[in-house]
Structure 1
Amino acid sequence: MPGGRLTQQERRQIARGLADGLAYAEIARQLDRPTSTVTREVTRNGGPAGYRADTAHRATEQRAHRKKAAASSRGDRPDAAPQPYGRDAAEVSAYEEVLTNVLLASGAPLMMSRVLAALSISDSGSLTAAELAEHLRVSPASVSKAVAFLETQSMVRRVREGRRERYVVDDDIMHQSMMASARSTAQVAETARRGVPVLGAGSPAGNRLENMARYLEFVSESIERAAEQAHDILYTRAPDLPEENAEKDAPA
């Protein structure tokens, strides 16, 4: 079984397989690769509908370059502070990339996905623009633009600290996101229903819009109801660490 990174030709074969409606397992079999390799490749590069072979290849090369630069930077600072809670820095970095790409595949723009992932994996759930810019190796202006978008989605809020701003992702981020989604869906439903008398209640187009409105209203109400019922789950805390582990693993 071939190992190593996917080649550009293999990525083009993945793209053809997706266009033909093949399952990940079938594409992987044709490539003689594990199914997980294909799944991960597609997920981190736009999903089944947005996957583009050449774009995915360039993105992979850019990620490899960033990792090499980061590794070089860490090498210049051998006394860098250890990760809290006994975490492995490489595993944390790899997970952050996976989370970023899943958010990207769900429809969030790249920089917004990177900012949200960075905030989500921080223990405090908050970072300043300067901290985010340094962590992501981007300009503060890029961070500010991303946060502005995330604010419209009720996923991040700003807190003023003197002359600087701190960006916060609350524990109930998913609840706020679901409620915002429900409101957005309800708005589409209402707009669809307004078109029914315009096009005629007995016409095919009018009937289509009416059914669309009824469907979206049901979905919106279901999301809102489920989100409210599940809200308390977001505030469930894991049992405290044993005292000896807490002293060893907790950040200083």
Structure 2
Amino acid sequence: MPGGRLTHEERQHIATGLAEGLGYTEIGRRLRRPASTIMREVTRNGGPYGYGADRAHRATQHRARRRKQAQPPAPPVPDSGHGRDPQAVQDFTHFFTALLEQQGLPRMMARVLACLALTDSGTLTAADLVQRLGVSPASVSHAITYLEQQGLLSRERIPGTRRERYVIDDDIWLRSLRASLQMNDALAAASQHATEILGAATPAGTRFESTTEFLLLVSESLRQVTEQWQQSRAARSPAR
């Protein structure tokens, strides 16, 4: 099925179809376009009785030029000082955001987290995030709420004001790992319960029993890793 913008020739076919009394579905079928595309095209360009192919094509080109001219300037690269290459920082920001998305974070949440992670202070206000990311305050607020629930950041009051700032620290991934550990423990307990209900000798029960063993092994490994990390940080702390 064709995609992208309608061509001038397609608009002429639409005008012809309307003149013949065809509905949006039939016109879309002939052009191999969704009926919703035809309906939007006709509605924004004069309606079924006022649609003209040439006028619609010129109007679409004009709207496209206006949108291009109205695009806001690119947001500044965060923390590009300290002799850093601004382009390298920008490129890594895109890469890291995509990596977070691959790990399951929704795009806006990934953008906010990456923006915070790449600041030296690890602290930004809502206004900072809106300006740097070029998004709406509502988008930032929604992302912050989600990330806070996941334990990936915290919020604190700016002294002497009613404003808040959002903070990440060195323990961001430790908290995330602990959240994963809690979920893993819950799954292991549920799998053990399923084994008891289904019977360990049955195919389904055997599957859950194997799952329980695996998840318990994962939980033990995660606990050892977190303990080793905490011991390592404690050993280094006097030297700071």
> Shorter-chain TM-score category?
0.5 to 0.7
CA offset at residue 69 of structure 1? Answer: 5.3
Give 3-state SS (helix, strand or coil) of 2:82's partner. helix
**Residue aligning to 1:245:** none
Amino acid at match of 2:133: L
Aligned with residue 106 of structure 1, among 88, 103, 108? 103
Amino acid at match of 1:111: M
1:30-54: per-residue Cα shift (whole Å, max 9, x none)?
A: xxxxxxxxxxxxxxxxxxxxxxxxx
**Residue aligning to 1:87:** 84
Match status 1:160 vs 2:157 = yes
C-alpha separation in 1, matches of 2:92 and 2:222: 28
Match status 1:206 vs 2:205 = yes
C-alpha separation in 2, matches of 1:184 and 1:210: 18
Aligned with residue 122 of structure 1, among 116, 119, 123? 119
C-alpha separation in 2, matches of 1:186 and 1:82: 39
After TM superposition, list the pairs within 5 Å mapping 1:28-107 onto structure 2: 70=73, 83-107=80-104
- After TM superposition, the score normalised by the length of structure 2 is 0.62
For CA contacts below 8 A with separation 6 or more, give which structure has more relative contact order. Answer: 1
Give 3-state SS (helix, strand or coil) of 1:167's partner. strand
- The answer to whether the 8 A contact 1:156-1:169 is kept is yes
Amino acid at match of 1:168: V
**Residue aligning to 2:57:** none
Farther-moved stretch of structure 1 (127-136 vs 140-149): 140-149
1:169-189: per-residue Cα shift (whole Å, max 9, x none)?
A: 011111111111111111111
CA offset at residue 213 of structure 1? Answer: 1.1
Q: Which runs of 5+ in 1 are unaligned?
A: 1-64, 75-79, 241-252
Amino acid at match of 1:153: Q
Q: 1:139 to 1:82 in 2, by over 3 A?
A: closer
- After TM superposition, the score normalised by the length of structure 1 is 0.59
- The answer to whether the 8 A contact 2:78-2:118 is kept is no
- The answer to whether the 8 A contact 1:128-1:167 is kept is yes
1:206-232: per-residue Cα shift (whole Å, max 9, x none)?
A: 111111111101101201211220236
Q: 1:173 to 1:84 in 2, by over 3 A?
A: same
C-alpha separation in 2, matches of 1:189 and 1:197: 13
Give 3-state SS (helix, strand or coil) of 2:104's partner. coil
CA offset at residue 82 of structure 1? Answer: 8.7
C-alpha separation in 2, matches of 1:84 and 1:234: 28
Q: 1:171 to 1:82 in 2, by over 3 A?
A: closer
**Residue aligning to 2:179:** 180
**Residue aligning to 1:133:** 130
CA offset at residue 111 of structure 1? Answer: 0.8
Identity rate, percent: 40
Give the CA RMSD over aligned residues. Answer: 2.9
Amino acid at match of 1:129: A
Residue-pair matches, total: 167
CA offset at residue 107 of structure 1? Answer: 1.1
C-alpha separation in 1, matches of 2:192 and 2:124: 43
CA offset at residue 234 of structure 1? Answer: 6.3
